[in-house]
A and B are shown apart, each in its own frame.
Chain A
Amino acid sequence: MNGSQHILEAFHRHNISTVFGYPGGCIMPLYDALVDDVDVEHVLCRHEQACALAADGYARASGRLGVCIATSGPGATNLITGVANAYLDSIPLLVITGQVPSALIGTDAFQETDILGMTLGIVKHSYLVEDAGDLPRVLEEAIGLAQSGRPGPVWIDIPKDILLSPITTAAPERPQAENRQQQCPDIREAWAMLKAAKRPLLYSGGGVSLAQAEANFRAFAEASGLPGVVTLKGIGNAGRHNPNDMGMLGMHGSRAANKAVDECDLLFVVGARLDDRATGKLDGFAPNARLIHIDTDAAEINKLRAADIAVRGDLNAILSAFTTAAEQTPLSIGDWQKQCQTWHTTGGFRAAGNEAPLTPITGPAFIRQLSGITPDNTIIACDVGQHQMWVAQYYQFAHPRHHLSSGGLGTMGFGMPAAIGAQFANRNSTVINVTGDGSFMMNAQELATIRRYNLPLKLIILDNQCLGMVRQQQELFYNNRESQINLDDNPDFVAMARAFDIPALHIERTDQIRRGIETILAYNGPMLLHVAISREENVWPIVKAGSSNREMIDEPRKTSNRKEQVA
């Protein structure tokens, strides 16, 4: 067995059945071994960045390890954005690249890059395999490391000669699977602080689903009755119908969620890292609140805001202990719950719109209808920009793994490859890529991948003929001086999809929304819906970067009304 065959054997041992990759010179031995392997499905994307993002989407939607493969040099460097994307959102990824033969490393050989050095800051760990005998250990370690504790991408760079070398060392024994029911740290002090609070608020993030602690989170939310806000990556934690969930906070969060954070006297933070897009200016964030911080990663505790009490460990065990405490001695926060529900009613994102049928389509109106029409298990992969925020604001997610969004890195071009990965992970689910015209063009070549595998996923472009989020910020914060945001020379997206043999439909009026969505959902195969929206539409509310969430700016025509409702 050579190095390449050993890699495939490791895939089999770890039930890795789908990988995303692109072949090239130094990785050819692995691709040669793939010819004889019927158990590993290799998905050929059309760009290495898409391979990494598809593996990321696969991992996000399934909770399993995503795997991507590329050759040395440009193959490896093209992966970087996708790997950084996974790193910033703590997504478990195994990245395998070929490297020039060992003897040529350091000679500026053809397609040689020091990918190990270039990627140190965007991986959980990385390896350059220098001895064929190390490969079995490195593979086992990397696969375990990517998925344990706080997950993340692990990169293995393998010289071509090692891919061809005989491997005589056996794979080390797999460590015992991590026991999710770990010993729980002492929560008594934290519970006493929570119990004493008059206006406690549950603040949850992506750590909940990363720890696969959704059920325990919901049990605790229900037992405690805590009003809750979520970060972008925490959307879906509370499900579609929790009356205490006020949705997303932060830069484009609801006025209700930001108001609750501003007024609470205790923040109960679960699996969130207090990112600047969520907190706004830290000095003004939850100014009256003490903070209990629950997280797996010790480095997140006290990183940006000092915790009064930190509870570090497995979220399942910790949340379960808090649930027991809440069931035994319920919290007395009825007045606070009512106050938050009132804020949510008057300052949350509206559940239903009242747009006139012949008017141009707005982003919120479209997403509200999409949310109402699609089934509960629909997976939405977003790109980055205004459409991403409208999805976060107006789509009601049943589960955090249904909402695939590039939170940390904010990678335009994430959506389509992520949707491809999600569809491979969930063959029978409805998977929709909601994108903008700018983001769509960042990885448009993946239409060929969708066609090749006849994936039934749906593509929705909210096309405002510009980089809307940048235009909006130029309008609001740069004296309306538009700079390099115009995309009115976009291609004909309907014709473009058809060129890839993907049927497509164009809509532009509010009364066409329902029929458009129903048509693409009913079609047995991939289909694109091109939605023309106004260039001038903005995402509201908005907090200027670096400002306090208290300084959020509302839609001008609604400002006076809102002030009366949420005072």
Chain B
Amino acid sequence: MNPTHEIASPSYTLNCRMNQEAAALERLCQVVRVRGFRIARMAMESSEECLEIALTLEGSRPVSMLQSQLEKLHTVIGVEVVSGAASRSRTA
């Protein structure tokens, strides 16, 4: 762990709901990593149909970009930025 990185990077909390499917969690984690964020904390509960995942992330890129990428995943039902959200620009 790099302490400088930890201090410098903003922290965000996201709640994510996904369908139960093979590699669902790996897919989520892969997108988080590739898009420039580090998972500081992760909690997951599974029901028969869904996975409920709470993520605490650190990263210097806009979290709205990560949210857009996660929402593109076919298995993702919804992503909510609970804290640390940056405002999005206008979209017609």
**With A186-B92, A302-B65, A303-B65: A127-B22 Cβ-Cβ less than 8 Å:** yes
Number of CB contacts from chain A to chain B under 8 A: 60
Separation of A311 and B91 alpha carbons in the complex (Å): 6
| A275, CB-defined interface residue at 8 Å | no
Check B68–A299 contact: CB distance below 8 A: yes
Check A116–B23 contact: CB distance below 8 A: yes
- Chain A interfacial residues counted at CB < 8 A: 29
Stretch at the interface among A118-126, A280-288, A420-428: A118-126
Pick from A186, A303, A312 the residue with the most CB of B within 10 Å: A303
Check A120–B30 contact: CB distance below 8 A: yes
Q: B21, B22, B30: which contacts A121 (Cβ < 8 A)? A: B30
| A301, CB-defined interface residue at 8 Å | yes
Closest to A128 in B: B22
Within 8 A of A (CB), among B52-92: 62, 64-65, 68-69, 71-75, 88-92
Closest to A307 in B: B89
| B1, CB-defined interface residue at 8 Å | no
**With A126-B23, A299-B65: A145-B92 Cβ-Cβ less than 8 Å:** no
Check A301–B23 contact: CB distance below 8 A: no
Shortest distance in angstroms between B26's beta carbon and chain A's nearest beta carbon? 6
Chain A 398-442 near chain B by CB (<8 Å), digits 1 or 0: 000000000000000000000000000000000000000000000
| B7, CB-defined interface residue at 8 Å | no
Closest to A298 in B: B68
| B5, CB-defined interface residue at 8 Å | no
B65 partner residues in chain A, CB cutoff 8 A: 299, 302-303
Within 8 A of B (CB), among A171-192: 185-187, 189-190
A130 partner residues in chain B, CB cutoff 8 A: 22
Give the interface SS of chain A, mostly helix, strand, loop or mixed.
mixed
B30 partner residues in chain A, CB cutoff 8 A: 120-121
Check B72–A299 contact: CB distance below 8 A: yes
**With A186-B92, A298-B91, A302-B65: A117-B26 Cβ-Cβ less than 8 Å:** yes
| A306, CB-defined interface residue at 8 Å | yes
Q: B23, B69, B71, B90: which contacts A309 (Cβ < 8 A)? A: B90
Shortest distance in angstroms between B90's beta carbon and chain A's nearest beta carbon? 6
| A297, CB-defined interface residue at 8 Å | yes
Closest to B70 in A: A299
| A310, CB-defined interface residue at 8 Å | yes
Separation of A458 and B85 alpha carbons in the complex (Å): 54
Shortest distance in angstroms between A301's beta carbon and chain B's nearest beta carbon? 6
Separation of A185 and B90 alpha carbons in the complex (Å): 12
Q: A128, A299, A307: which contacts B69 (Cβ < 8 A)? A: A299
25 CB < 8 A contacts A-B: A120-B26, A120-B30, A121-B30, A125-B73, A125-B75, A128-B22, A128-B23, A130-B22, A186-B92, A189-B92, A190-B92, A298-B72, A298-B91, A299-B68, A301-B68, A301-B89, A301-B91, A302-B64, A302-B88, A306-B89, A307-B89, A309-B90, A310-B89, A311-B91, A312-B92
Cβ-closest 9 pairs across A and B: A299-B68, A185-B92, A125-B74, A310-B91, A128-B22, A311-B92, A120-B30, A186-B92, A299-B69
Given contacts A124-B74, A311-B92, 7 further A-B contacts (CB under 8 A): A120-B30, A185-B92, A298-B71, A299-B65, A306-B89, A310-B91, A311-B91
